[in-house]
Amino acid sequence: MVNLAVARAAEPRARPPSTIAILRLARPQRRALVSYFAALLVWQLGSTSGRWLGFELPLLGRVPAPSDVLLAWSHLILDPGYWQSWIASWKRVAVGFSAAVLTGVPLGLIMALNRPIWDVVFPVFELLRPIPPLAWVPVAIIFWPTQELSIDAVIFIGAFYTLVLNAVSGARSVDPRLIEVARSMGASKRNILTRLVLPGVLPSVLVGMEVSIGITWEVVVAAEMISGGGSSRAASSGGGLGFFIWNSYVGGSYPQIIVGMISIGIAGYLSSAALRAVAARLSRWNAPHGGRT
Partner 1 sequence: MSQPQTRLDSVGEIDRAFRGVELIDVDKTFGHASGERAVVRGCSFRIEPGRFTVMIGPSGAGKSTLIRLIAGFDFPSAGEIRAGGKLVRGPGKDRQVMFQETALFPWMTTSGNVRYGPKARGEFGPAARRLADALTTRMGLDRFRNMYPAQLSGGMQRRAELARAMMNEPSVMILDEPFRGLDSMTKRLMLEYYANYSEESERTNFFVTTDVDEAIFLADCVLVMTHIPTHVRAVVEVDLPRPRSLAALVDDERASELKAELLAMLHEEAATAFAAGGKETADFVEAYRRHHWSPKLAKADRP
Site for partner 1 in 82-141 (CB under 8 A): 112, 115
Residue of 8, 15, 75, 183 interacting with partner 1 (CB under 8 A): 183
* DSSP 8-state assignment for residue 17: P
Is residue 196 a contact residue for partner 1 (CB under 8 A)? yes
Spell out a b/e string for 210-249, using b for 16 or more CB atoms within 10 Å of the CB, else e: bbbbbbbbbbbbbbbbbbebbeeeebbbbbbbbbbbbbbe
- 45 or 182, CB closer to partner 1? 182
Nearest CA among 162, 243, 238 for reference residue 204: 162
Contacts of 43 (CB under 8 A, 6+ apart): 60, 63, 65, 66
Nearest CA among 100, 91, 70 for reference residue 239: 91
Q: How far is the CB of 105 from partner 1 (least distance, A)?
A: 17
Q: How far is the CB of 235 from partner 1 (least distance, A)?
A: 51
Asked whether 82 and 76 are in contact (CB, 8 A), the reply is yes
**x/- site string to partner 1, residues 152 to 181, per CB under 8 A?**
--------------------x-xxxxxxxx
Number of residues that bind partner 1 (CB under 8 A): 32
Q: How far is the CB of 108 from partner 1 (least distance, A)?
A: 13
Is residue 280 a contact residue for partner 1 (CB under 8 A)? no
Tell me phi and psi for residue 47, to 5 degrees.
Answer: -75, -20
CA separation for the pair 24, 183 (Å, rounded): 54
- 12 or 186, CB closer to partner 1? 186
Is residue 279 a contact residue for partner 1 (CB under 8 A)? no
Residue of 78, 127, 289, 293 interacting with partner 1 (CB under 8 A): 289
Task: Check the CA dihedral 128-133-138-143 and report its sign.
Answer: positive
Contacts of 262 (CB under 8 A, 6+ apart): 69
Is residue 293 a contact residue for partner 1 (CB under 8 A)? no
Q: How far is the CB of 293 from partner 1 (least distance, A)?
A: 12
The single-letter code of the amino acid at 142 is I
- 202 or 264, CB closer to partner 1? 202
Q: How far is the CB of 288 from partner 1 (least distance, A)?
A: 8
The single-letter code of the amino acid at 108 is G
Tell me phi and psi for residue 79, to 5 degrees.
Answer: -90, 115
Q: How far is the CB of 181 from partner 1 (least distance, A)?
A: 5
Q: How far is the CB of 272 from partner 1 (least distance, A)?
A: 23
| Interface positions with partner 1 (CB under 8 A) | 112, 115, 172, 174-188, 191, 195-196, 199-200, 202, 283-286, 288-290, 292
